[in-house]
Amino acid sequence: MTDMEALRERLGGEKPKKAFVRSFGCQLNVSDGEKIKGLLKSAGYSFAESESDADLIILNTCAVRENAEDRVFGIVGSMKHLKDSNPGLIIGISGCMTAQKHIAEKIRKSYPQVDFVLGTSALNSLPGLLLDCMNGSKFAADTNEYTGFAEGTEQVRESSFKASVPIMFGCNNFCTYCIVPYVRGRERSRRSEDIINEVRQLAAGGYKEIMLLGQNVNSYGNDSADEISFPELLRRINAIEGDFIIRFMSSHPKDATRELLDVILGCEKVAKHLHLPVQSGSDRILAEMNRRYTVKKYLETVDYLRSRDKDFSLTTDIIVGFPNESDEDFEATVSLMKRVKYDNIYSFIYSKRTGTKAAEIDDRISDDVKSSRMRRLLEIQREIAAEHYQRFVGRRMRVLVEEPCKKRSGWLTGKSSEFIIAEFEGEPSLIGSFVEIEVIKAMNWAVEGKIIS
């Protein structure tokens, strides 16, 4: 009997159990959370609305920045009372935090309320770990060597019209600030056939947005001599029947080849938007980060896209306060932002990650300086977006309607192909479908429009 069968049998004999899974961090981790839910559903669990009425709680964690880890420790700490009032409660921690030895050790020593830890590529061990816990094991763990991944695991998807599809796991780049290669292991691509079949099923099931995910999607296939390249994968997914939009994340600027850019520009289902994390506008810092491109090279990619489509949308990630980032380095980032005119940026204050190369650098920049740089960056981006969004005013935009607008009742929000947030009046029944709007006004976080069809 497999562990899954044994767990099913065990749960079948008891009153129905409820699970609560909470994911932190990036979309790949959210996707893992959906797989964890899929496994739990197959085992016979239903899902609780909150931690307080759950028999099983899994925190699916992120390790990219320290504040994400601190939040999880805070939450686990506060769960002690849940365990006191419900001794049968099982608490598990999965995701990237578990793959750091010092963190796994801290959980084991200081948080006895935690029953098990589940590594990032050990998802299929979950039924076995749960059985161990039910059989009285004090601390069950599988934090393996991040080599495999769970193919064929059913997912409980959060949305009925937007789906993420991981295409690869791990990262080979070793950017000096980043913990990912240590917690997710080396790049492993899924078989293109499996990916294409999955997208075909999703499209047939009415999904309107397919988000292809990987730490570095444009090196897809490089780990296998028989596999197709990322541009070819995009071409084949573009050819799948159905009305849906294709997005992908994240791309590394060093691998943004001309072929890839041409495929993005030429495939009608592929969004006219590229998320291209630049991290810094200073060549000195880029070298220290081991990013393997220069600002000049990055701008060649931007200029090529804009020469073919002058309104092409770009978003980016920026790290503020990398060790010993000078005023001059920071100003170089500001100039790059003004030159590129991003539609949105995701900016982060550098967070020291034990085990990475950058963690060994003796940093002389104060926290105050870093915070004030961050504030300035956000201010500048607001000005850039407000001005740059003007290009859409008076034009039509096809938008996937996502949810009711939080600020205005009777209004909806959605996203355009360019990944621009749009707000407009409309019926909630439109959620999950495409509408055409005319853009009336540009704001600094979104555009406002009215539905024309």
Residues contributing to the site for ligand 5AD (CB under 6 A):
64-65, 177-178, 277, 279, 317, 319, 348, 350-351, 353
Residue 65 binding: pick among ligand SF4, ligand 5AD, none (C-beta 5-8 Å cut-off by kind): ligand 5AD
> In the complex, what is the shortest distance from the CB of residue 51 to ligand SF4, in angstroms, rounded to a whole number?
30
Residue 216 binding: pick among ligand 5AD, ligand SF4, none (C-beta 5-8 Å cut-off by kind): ligand SF4
Q: Rule CB under 6 A: say whether 95 interacts with ligand SF4.
A: no
Residue 125 binding: pick among ligand SF4, ligand 5AD, none (C-beta 5-8 Å cut-off by kind): none
Nearer to ligand 5AD, 117 or 180 (CB): 180
Q: Which stretch binds ligand SF4 (CB under 6 A): 38-46, 152-160, 167-175, 190-198?
A: 167-175
**Size of residue set near ligand SF4 by CB under 6 A:** 10
Restricted to residues 258-277, the positions that interact with ligand SF4 (CB under 6 A) are none
- Residue 132 and residue 320: Cα distance in Å, rounded? 44
**Which residues are CB-contacts of 310 (< 8 A; sequence separation ≥ 6)?**
none
Residue 273 binding: pick among ligand 5AD, ligand SF4, none (C-beta 5-8 Å cut-off by kind): none
Residue 399 binding: pick among ligand 5AD, ligand SF4, none (C-beta 5-8 Å cut-off by kind): none
DSSP-derived secondary structure for 287-353: HHTT----HHHHHHHHHHHHHH-TT-EEEEEEEE--TT--HHHHHHHHHHHHHHT-SEEEEEE----
Restricted to residues 215-244, the positions that interact with ligand SF4 (CB under 6 A) are 215-216
Neighbours of 391 (CB within 10 A): 17
> In the complex, what is the shortest distance from the CB of residue 422 to ligand SF4, in angstroms, rounded to a whole number?
29
**Which residues are CB-contacts of 136 (< 8 A; sequence separation ≥ 6)?**
none
Structure tokens that stand for 39 in this block? 């496994």
Strand-pairing partners, residue 411, are: 425
Residue 33 binding: pick among ligand 5AD, ligand SF4, none (C-beta 5-8 Å cut-off by kind): none
Nearer to ligand 5AD, 169 or 434 (CB): 169
* Residue 452 exposed, middle or buried by CB count within 10 Å (0-12, 13-18, 19+): exposed
Residue 426 binding: pick among ligand 5AD, ligand SF4, none (C-beta 5-8 Å cut-off by kind): none
Percent of the chain that is helix, strand, coil (3-state, to 5): 40, 20, 40
Restricted to residues 241-260, the positions that interact with ligand SF4 (CB under 6 A) are 252
Whether 18 and 47 have beta carbons less than 8 Å apart is answered as yes
Residue 388 binding: pick among ligand 5AD, ligand SF4, none (C-beta 5-8 Å cut-off by kind): none
Nearest to 224 by CA among 175, 292, 168, 174: 168
Q: Rule CB under 6 A: say whether 59 interacts with ligand SF4.
A: no
Question: Which DSSP symbol is given to 423?
Answer: E
Task: Find the binder of ligand SF4 among 165, 178, 228, 263 (CB under 6 A).
Answer: 178
> In the complex, what is the shortest distance from the CB of residue 424 to ligand 5AD, in angstroms, rounded to a whole number?
30
* Backbone torsions φ then ψ of 32, nearest 5 degrees: -60, -40
Whether 24 and 95 have beta carbons less than 8 Å apart is answered as yes
> In the complex, what is the shortest distance from the CB of residue 99 to ligand SF4, in angstroms, rounded to a whole number?
13
Nearer to ligand SF4, 19 or 319 (CB): 319
According to DSSP, the β-strands at 209-213 and 162-166 are parallel
Report angle CA 215, 297, 331 to the nearest 5 degrees: 90
Binding site for ligand SF4 (CB under 6 A): 171, 173-175, 178, 180-181, 215-216, 252
